[in-house]
Structure 1
Amino acid sequence: MDVTFRDFGPGDAGWLVQQHGDLYARAEGFDETFGALVADILRDFEAHRDPAMERAWIAWQGGARLGSIFCVRVDADTAKLRLFLLVPQVRGLGLGQRMLEECMGWARRRDYRRMVLWTHESHQAACALYRKAGWRLTRSVPVRSFGVDLVEQAWEVDL
């Protein structure tokens, strides 16, 4: 698969908000509050990003965006994986694993000692990918979020 990664740039925020909102509304029935959360995360990233310690990758093929993954600083030892997304037509082709490895490797090279993430139990393919990459499930809690009943999960991995 001939895919290139580039840093977060012009037009990416709108695309990410739309993709997250549309994909999760269709797949899981999420309401508009999910897209609003993604917009808030992106505004915070743009306003406070430390380029030496935080990074985003947007996957491209030709002129089309295929996905994203972000690494943001929690503290001196901990990075957080955020906004990991693949468009449905490229899921299952190894791109997600490649993106996860790129993000984790980058975090290691920045001397982060661990990474954390927040997700939902219903994201089974992503959770299987995390497990395969050595992540551990640390918390699982039933919640009502984005207009639906979900099981929130926290995961972490030592780098």
Structure 2
Amino acid sequence: MEDVVLRPFRPDDAPWLVEQHGTLYARDEGFDSSFAPLVAQILDDFIADHDLTREQGWIAEQAGKRLGSIFCVSLDRNTAKLRLFLLMPQARGLGLGKRLLSTCTGFARAAGYREMALWTHESHKAACALYRANGWQLTDSKPVHSFGVDLIEQSWEIQL
């Protein structure tokens, strides 16, 4: 994975991100068709109105092929939110997730945020293990019915 580049997100990455989120979450989690439009709305909002000094998105790319993404967006003056963390199946387990997470939290720290938050599902065991191993704390866990399936929704935070 040494030849993988983390480059800034570009608006032309949005269709790929929407498609991959929709496809992978439907296949792996059983999510219904309501999930991809949520991803599209998150990206539309980011493209339309983000502060480059406090918000950023990255695409992991190898030889022109996209392998993953991660975003840092502002929740408030002191809190950043991690969003759209995705790794393609062929890129999992190779350290790329740790690299993306480190890049995102490093950016948040440098941008002056005091903490970061994220929302995920308990079923994302590898991601949750990565968060825990990197100092994130689970702050809430509750059963929900979202995207057509029963899930355990989780909130995580880290002090920067």
Answer yes or no: same fold by TM over 0.5.
yes
Give 4+ residue runs of structure 1 displaced > 4 Å after superposition: none
1:9 aligns with 10
Quote how far apart the aligned CAs of 1:11 are: 2.2
Preserved CA contact (<8 Å) 2:11 2:47: no
2:120 aligns with 119
1:54 aligns with 55
Cα RMSD for the two superposed structures:
0.6
Q: Secondary structure at the match of 2:34?
A: helix
1:72 aligns with 73
Deviations 1:74-128 (A, max 9, x none): 1111000000000000100000001100110111111100000000000000000
Matched to 2:23, the amino acid is: D
Quote how far apart the aligned CAs of 1:10 are: 3.7
Give identity over the alignment, percent. 66
Quote how far apart the aligned CAs of 1:6 are: 1.1
1:88 aligns with 89
Matched to 1:144, the amino acid is: H
Q: Secondary structure at the match of 1:32?
A: coil
> Matched residues in 1 for 2:51 and 2:115: separation?
18
TM-score calculated relative to the size of structure 2: 0.98
* Number of residue pairs aligned between Structure 1 and Structure 2: 159
> Matched residues in 1 for 2:63 and 2:38: separation?
29
Q: Unaligned regions of 5+ residues in structure 2, if any?
A: none
1:43 aligns with 44
> Matched residues in 2 for 1:75 and 1:90: separation?
32
